[in-house]
Structure 1
Amino acid sequence: MGEVSRGARAVVVCPDIRSQRYDLDAEARLEEACGLALAIGIEVVTSQILPVRDVKPNTLFGSGQVDNIQAACELEEAELVVVDGALSPIQQRNLEDRLKRKVIDRTGLILEIFGERAATAEGRLQVELAHLDYQQSRLVRSWTHLERQRGGFGFLGGPGETQIEADRRMIRQRMGRLRKELEQVRKTRALHRERRGRAPWPIIALVGYTNAGKSTLFNTLTGAEVMAEDLLFATLDPTMRAVRLPGVEKAILSDTVGFISDLPTQLVAAFRATLEEVTAADVIVHVRDMSNPSAAAQKSQVLGVLTDLGVIDGEDGVSHIPIVEAWNKWDLLDTDKRAELAELAANDELVIPISAISGEGLDEFVTEIDDLLTAGAREYHLVLSAAEGQKIAWLHAHGNVLNEQDAGEGEDGPLRAIDVKLTAKEFGRFDSL
């Protein structure tokens, strides 16, 4: 099979296997698969759901269905077939032989997206490890990892790439090295988290299903220009920025990779370190696309991942980190839907309807986050020497000073009595000045 570049014309097929349970219905899965293809620059010329009563070991689909896929490819002049499901290496090879076209499955497609989107050295390490794990059983196919000049991660390569043939020993050696490097990354991350835990500034982590609007909200709140396009998986590497809230001088806002249904196991493992950032948060903001018909199923996916990470207790379903639901894309809802959801939101103080695009509801959202972060603040009565001007100034800048007055004379001169509200973290910072 020749290389397929961005802009390739593709037929997307979604197998609906009778014996398999799915989180989303077939229509939603097909729409998501088309979104994934678009995210990597593939032109979807036609898409279809194919019911699979009995899985064929050699091709997954029945012979007649394979003929129908081929006919669609001929009609639409498609050079690529995307199967929204897991294909065994044999199924993939046999389908390519039958269809005379390149075939990639869901895992391969997501790996392509991850390969293109991963921006940091850590992200690239994680993607490469996941790709090698996937590639081990597909050595009949050429790939470009260990010697590439540019392009994607193996299936949808581009000009300038060098094709080499890799053997299992080479892959195992490379995977061993990558795991060591990633272990170092995890240790470094743990140290950074520990430092931030001692640090003064609270962390707000944005989580949510892919394309829910996390990056747009991140940009709106921080003024940053993180990639925020209407694409699945627009963000892969966690991005952090400082934000100022009414009662918090500085907080760290963290934008994380979007979650998705049926994430291939190789990717769950490879991106664990990235998602672990969430476990260090003081507040989690679950950004939801309320205009999506599958919003409820998407929420279930996100909560499942948070449970896997240990944020939510698997037995009682209680989160040990406060979770605020930002009901995003409010501007896309019709009047009836708004009214219906507004009634539900009114009964839960941790649900805030917002539009990250128009700014609607963001004042209430910021107030809620601010209240959560300062909920543990308590009042301190401090007596400081007037000579400790730096500490006094710090209290005015970082705490909520309720009262300040003269407190007589001390050994170092005049004293000031200050009543101030501080969170435990802020008091820790003050204490270490």
Structure 2
Amino acid sequence: MTVRFIHTSDIHLGKTYRFAGCEAERYGDFFDTFRGIVADAIAQQVDFVLVGGDLFHTGQILPKTFARTIELLQPLREAGIPCIAVEGNHDWIHRRDSISWMEALSQLGYLHLLRPERTSEGGYRFEPFDRETGSGGRIEVGGVNIYGLGYIGSQAAAHVERICDAVQTRRNILLFHVGIWSYSPVEIGNIHPDDALPLAHCFDYLALGHGHKPYLIKTPEGRPYGFNPGSPDCVNFGEERYDKGYYLVEFPEAGPISHEFRTTAPRPMLVTKIDLEGAENVDEALSRLAAQLGEKLAGIEDSRRVLLEIRLAGRVRFHPFELGRERLRLAVEEVCRPLHIEVKNHLSLVAKGGEGETVKKSLAEIERDVLAELVGAHDQFKGRETEMVDLCLALRDRVLKGDAEGDDLLGLLEGWEGPCA
């Protein structure tokens, strides 16, 4: 029989911009996008839905996020369409002695969370899914065997052979939260295409996640076997360049698998460079900003409030500190009313000299110098100033973005081994 299913991933429910005045509206975007996928699954009468990890934006979600997720999954449950999922790196919680929200959803029957067991020799054992306990490593639907493996980090390539050794069935799908180098835009959690190739001999369809850019990989003979739908919404700035959507797949009993990439419609996002080269004063800079921004926004037809990242560039004749965040925000709001705005200030101050112009340090360079001087004043950090400055700025950036949970910040600190860890 032909089995039809939807493959989506990296939903990131719970994502928002905290303390930015748009928390509720941005928070709702990700639920709206997933709601559309669920509605399509029901309309298409698919046999199941696959979620390739990162259903949630953080492992420690708010109770209201859990409640709204149940509301979204309830129509699938009523339609008898299993939602089969694995955990991504965002779904994990740091304290593994506690039950995760994904496990709770599985135990309640709203999704089927697949997680294999490990053997004493370090291999894998994919036990059949037990609906009573909400646990197991594989599940069979319509004659198709779906195996699940969540995020296992940078050593994923070393596990491919062990995964294949554990597979004894035919008509197989592997739901795996991993990226493929040269295709995935993320920096960690990827494997090389050659390392992934053995999976093509064990699985007819490799359902990937992790990277937010859609792509597919093929065998040397040209058969597509690995599919990453990317994230259906724009999670981070820069993703506006990617197609956004999910796969609708037909898996026949014999013959090739067919797939259709069905697009979603995320809130408009714009990342734009504003060239302020040679601006004499703040008023001139703001005037040029308004003109350039207006031109960039003219091509956006979506009526929803835009997510905006502005990158200020150029050498100016006033101190870049004069373009503070509040002043820039007010100037931008005279052109449009963005739902959220982030500013990257890469301006440099230029001063006239006797024999021409001298370029002084940029705002970012001044900031790093000040932090390094403060850190270096402590004997325990001498020689590690650069490392500590990077950590401080990473924490600062997470907080300013407004989407960092306590566990995200704790994860950064736990990943840094130093005298204060």
Answer yes or no: same fold by TM over 0.5: no
Higher relative contact order (CA 8 A, sep 6+): 2
Q: Determine which structure has the larger helix proportion and give its number.
A: 1
Task: Report the TM-score, using the length of structure 2 for normalisation.
Answer: 0.28
Task: Report the TM-score, using the length of structure 1 for normalisation.
Answer: 0.28
